Amino acid sequence: MKKKVYKAHILYTKERNRFEVLENGYVAVDADGRVSEVASDLKSLDCGDWEVTDFVDCLLIPAMNDLHVHAPQYRNQGIAMDLELLPWLQNYTFPEEMKYADLAYAERMYRRFVHDLWRFGTMRACVFATIHTDSTRLLMRIFQEAGMGALVGKVAMDRNCPEGLSEPVGEMVLGYEDLIAEFNNPDALVRPIITPRFVPSCTPETLRACGELAAKYQLPVQSHLSENKDEVALVRTLENTWYGDAYNRYGLFGQTPTVMAHCVFTEGEELELMRRNRVVVAHCPTSNLNVASGMAPVRKFLDNGLRVGLGSDISGGHDLSIFRMMVYAIQVSKMYYQQNHDRSFLTLSEAFWMATKSAGSFFGRVGSFEPGYEFDALIIDDSDLNHDNYSLLERLERYIYLGDDRQIKHRFCRGKEIFGQ
């Protein structure tokens, strides 16, 4: 790959409290796809043989990262929102996931799903697949073909679920080892992630086997945590301890890099253990509204030093756009603090930082334009939204609040331009 320089209005967040803004700035990308430098003028760049591309008057920002999304619920995106959690799982989610035993169906849906992630500018994602090893492999290959980054989890589950979605622990482990054999290159964009669905649907044997797989192959872990009150109570009944500890005792809570979705009711010792074990929160504000779970205390997480990123959680969430998740994260934080008589809500830079640098850290050096970061980036042509004399930060805010896939003109992952398939 030739060395490259991109010129545009560059906006990103090194720290959560402020944007770095370079009007007509330059970012230099090395042959290995990593940022070597960001500069306000070409002369100050330490460059030899560069190819300069000028994205005239466009915004250049880090690409989006989705820390929690269920690929096989893609078909159910935006339907059955009037249902409560239980009938929704029984009548929509589980029957849909069973269809992924059929590779042809999986291929049709997974290709659309990956295309839509691409469309909305998400270049890295933590993805739940299903129990089916073959369709999970297919999904991973589709991500590879696309050139996008993904941690993809074959789902482990063997209790409190329909028979067609229950897999005995031995088969589960074999399936994982099969996938690990093909994909476990630590430098690869697409890798497996150990994925017990959540405590209520995994026997202790399956949870133990998951922890052992994570340790043996040094693989990351993802699951759900403290999403709603009934679930938290159920876990206490099943495992006789608090939710985070139930994962922790099986080696699934930060022993390898771990991301937990929701954490709406995380507090006290659970919060403290997450901080200590560097467990990442995948905050899914849209899903938490749609499923009537509650409002996660994200400001408290940040103030306590927790790592937090954003997740679309399709199809509890209905929107794949991580830009839209930023808006919802800010809105939910405003409502949380309105209800709790505290005025400190999330700011735009904090939401942006969560979606980029904070979430990106789960994939490596991703989500910023500091030297050494992988160049995951979007080129936004907001001319249709930029009809008056807006500042660059106002243009970014307007894009986040009002824009959609139409304004995203180019997408880069690890230095390579990614085209839709």
Tokens of 144: 């590879």
Name the minimum Å distance from CB 339 to its own copies: 6
Number of residues in the chain: 421
Name the minimum Å distance from CB 387 to its own copies: 6
**Closer CB to its own copies, residue 105 or residue 242?**
105
- 122 by Cβ neighbours in 10 Å (0-12 / 13-18 / 19+) ranks as buried
Name the minimum Å distance from CB 401 to its own copies: 3
**241 in Cβ contact with 273 (< 8 Å):** no
Name the minimum Å distance from CB 334 to its own copies: 4
**Closer CB to its own copies, residue 31 or residue 80?**
80
Strand duo 221-225 + 258-262: pairing: parallel
**392 in Cβ contact with 92 (< 8 Å):** no
**Closer CB to its own copies, residue 169 or residue 295?**
295
Q: Which residues bind its own copies (CB under 8 A)?
A: 75, 77-82, 84, 109, 112, 286, 289-295, 318-319, 327, 330-332, 334-335, 337-339, 343, 345, 347-348, 385, 387-388, 390, 394, 397-398, 400-402, 404
Name the minimum Å distance from CB 182 to its own copies: 29
**Closer CB to its own copies, residue 203 or residue 293?**
293
Name the minimum Å distance from CB 95 to its own copies: 13
**Closer CB to its own copies, residue 137 or residue 395?**
395
Closest CA to 415 of 50, 121, 33, 148: 33
Closest CA to 31 of 61, 4, 62: 4
What gap in Å lies between CA 51 and CA 53, rounded to an integer?
Answer: 7
Helix (H, G, I), strand (E, B), or coil: what is residue 365?
coil
Sign for the CA dihedral angle at 174, 177, 183, 188 comes to positive
**Closer CB to its own copies, residue 2 or residue 387?**
387
